[in-house]
A and B are shown apart, each in its own frame.
Chain A
Amino acid sequence: MFTHMKIASERMIFVYFGDEIHEQTHENIRLALQILADKPIKGITEILPGYTNICIHFDPLQIKKNTEEQQHMTSADIVMAFVQQRLAQSGATKRTSTRIVEIPVVYGGEHGPDLAYVAQKNGLTPEEVIDIHTAGDYLVYMLGFAPGFPFLGGLDKRLATPRRETPRLHIEAGSVGIAGEQTGVYPLATPGGWQIIGRTQLDLFLPHEQPPTLLRAGDRVKFIAVKEDAQ
């Protein structure tokens, strides 16, 4: 199921499921997360899904306390042996249902100052850019970079546009952008170099809710074009 593992530190390992960003890799990661979450060992503090791997944080003191017969092994070795054993007996393959999250976006105008540039760069009209972007089905591979920021797969290559040569000093929260072959939504106002094509009013980071984000790894995102007053 997994391809290899790496020790990142005395408190963290990676379990790899492939070398490339691929939906099948992501499926394996989801399944592995489910298996590992099922009967976790004490001392594992966080398990994070990535594009091609799972990152496991652990507390060596706790890991050692629970496995006294293995004092000659490092905690990283003990955790890797545990992962190997759990993923080998991956009998249970109950599929978790996929959430589809709709994100209403006002495209263009002051909310999407780079829409015209993205269109021109790709030989499209702004309307075509909106049609292609809203037709897409985007998979949330992982969250990172900023709280609630989704690393999305599935951007139509016809919309791929390089980052701005000069990053903007201020991008509004909710801005929807394109950078290379990636599309995403900024959860917080930040500086940034993405080509901004629109903006949503939805909050992606919800610090007082559990979980604290609109999106989660494994979700599917649909962008819906709306008029400004419709939001």
Chain B
Amino acid sequence: MIIVQKPGFFSTIQDMGRTGFQQYGVIVSGVMDEVAYRIGNALLQQCNTASIEMTVVGGTYQFTKPTAIVLTGGHVDATLQGKQISMNRVIHVEANDVLVCGPITHRVRCYLAVRGGIQVPIVMNSRSTYVKAGIGGYDGRALQKGDELPYEAGYMPSGKHHLQLAAFYTNAPIRILHGTEWATFSHDVQQAFSHNVFTVSLEADRMGYRMIPQHPIQIAKPFQLISEAVTFGTIQMPPNGEPIILMADRQTTGGYPKIAQVIAADLHRLAQIGPNEKVLFEVVSIAEAEAAYEKLQRQLKMLEVVLGLI
């Protein structure tokens, strides 16, 4: 078992999510930062096994059996048995070792991958936590002190090197596509949206980020839609002119017009941007979005294959 001694600010068990059930109104959930999650697993020579997603503050975890772990994503100062450990590197863990993860000092989400994955029950093809429905993860909720998370004993020696992942997390603008209702917005709104700098508000969680524009966006003629499907990265524009970007725990449908869509290849970078940080958008074409997606997926696949062979 992994005994949760301190749960951190908001830690949940996540994997790649619950696909195939949106037609029933069941959200996808899953990790916010797919890149960090996949690399954590790849270092442990495994694929899509449930990890702990920690937000803002890590937490303290005791392992009752030997295993190996990797910390990826947002930077956290972590110690194992009081000894500092590095990120993005396989760390061998002995029975009863205590891992202490402090505040996440750079970016906002850190992943704790465990050899073999965290073996909570699978609900609808996934171990991801869906807090609102109370399913998946540990008891369908965020981790609490005293929770005992099952895993299989395993062994992997500590890695000699840690991976450098900075190339996946540049500070380039977040690339977007025009949304399905882009053309329905007035020229003024289009311009105000395009030439703006946005700040992530304090209302930014796994469901979505409310964004505050530096120059207010006036929606002279607000309109609503018949509710229809939305997805990860959909940017809705409510009548108050403060866009909402839908994230991993988004509802399956929404009625606000969609002014833009974050491209798939930049979702992991957006997921690591926290409240009060600034975001710039850059519009790209579908072909560019697809090329960026293919490139990122190829890089991840390559890392999975190469790390699996070492």
Taking beta carbons and an 8 Å cutoff, which residues of A are in contact with B?
Answer: 6-12, 14, 20-21, 45-53, 55, 57, 60-61, 64, 74-76, 142-149, 151, 187-188, 190, 205, 207-208, 211-213, 216-217
Contacts and interface: CB of A to CB of B under 8 A. Distances in A.
Contact of A74 (B22, B23, B123, B287): B287
Contacts of B228: 14, 50-53, 55
A11 B290 CA distance: 8
Given A9-B233, A50-B226, A144-B253, 14 more contacts: A8-B234, A8-B261, A9-B177, A10-B263, A10-B264, A14-B180, A46-B22, A46-B23, A48-B22, A52-B228, A143-B252, A207-B123, A207-B124, A216-B24
Contacts of A76: 286, 290
Interface residues of B, number: 39
B229 interface: yes
A48 B26 CA distance: 12
A222 to B, nearest CB: 21
Contacts of A187: 25
Given A144-B251, A207-B123, A212-B26, A11 B264 contact: yes
Contact of B25 (A45, A47, A55, A149): A149
B124 A10 contact: no
Contacts of A10: 177, 263-264, 286, 289-290, 293
A9 B227 CA distance: 18
A143 B227 contact: no
Nearest to B287: A74
Given A10-B177, A74-B286, A143 B229 contact: no
Nearest to B262: A9
Contact of B227 (A7, A64, A144, A213): A144
Nearest to B260: A9
A57 B19 CA distance: 10
Contact of A148 (B25, B294, B297): B25
Contacts of A64: 294
18 contacts: A7-B177, A9-B263, A10-B293, A12-B231, A14-B229, A46-B20, A48-B23, A49-B23, A50-B226, A50-B228, A51-B226, A74-B286, A143-B24, A145-B252, A147-B21, A148-B24, A151-B253, A217-B23
Contacts of A57: 22, 231
Interface of B: 19-27, 123-124, 132-135, 177, 179-180, 226-229, 231, 233-234, 251-253, 258, 261, 263-264, 286-287, 289-290, 293-294, 297
Given A142-B253, A207-B133, A212 B24 contact: yes
A213 B263 CA distance: 31
Nearest to A204: B25
A19 B283 CA distance: 28
Contacts of A11: 231, 264, 293
A19 to B, nearest CB: 8
A60 B290 contact: yes
A147 B25 contact: yes
Nearest to A19: B226
Contact of A145 (B21, B133, B135, B253): B253
B212 to A, nearest CB: 24
B292 to A, nearest CB: 8
Given A9-B264, A10-B263, A145-B25, A208 B251 contact: no
Contacts of A147: 21, 24-27, 133
A45 B227 contact: no
Contacts of B234: 8-9
Contacts of A49: 23
Given A10-B263, A207-B135, A50 B25 contact: no
A142 to B, nearest CB: 7
Contacts of B258: 8
Given A207-B123, A208-B123, A212-B26, A8 B289 contact: no
Contact of B286 (A7, A151, A205, A211): A7
B285 to A, nearest CB: 9
Given A146-B132, A212-B24, A51 B177 contact: no
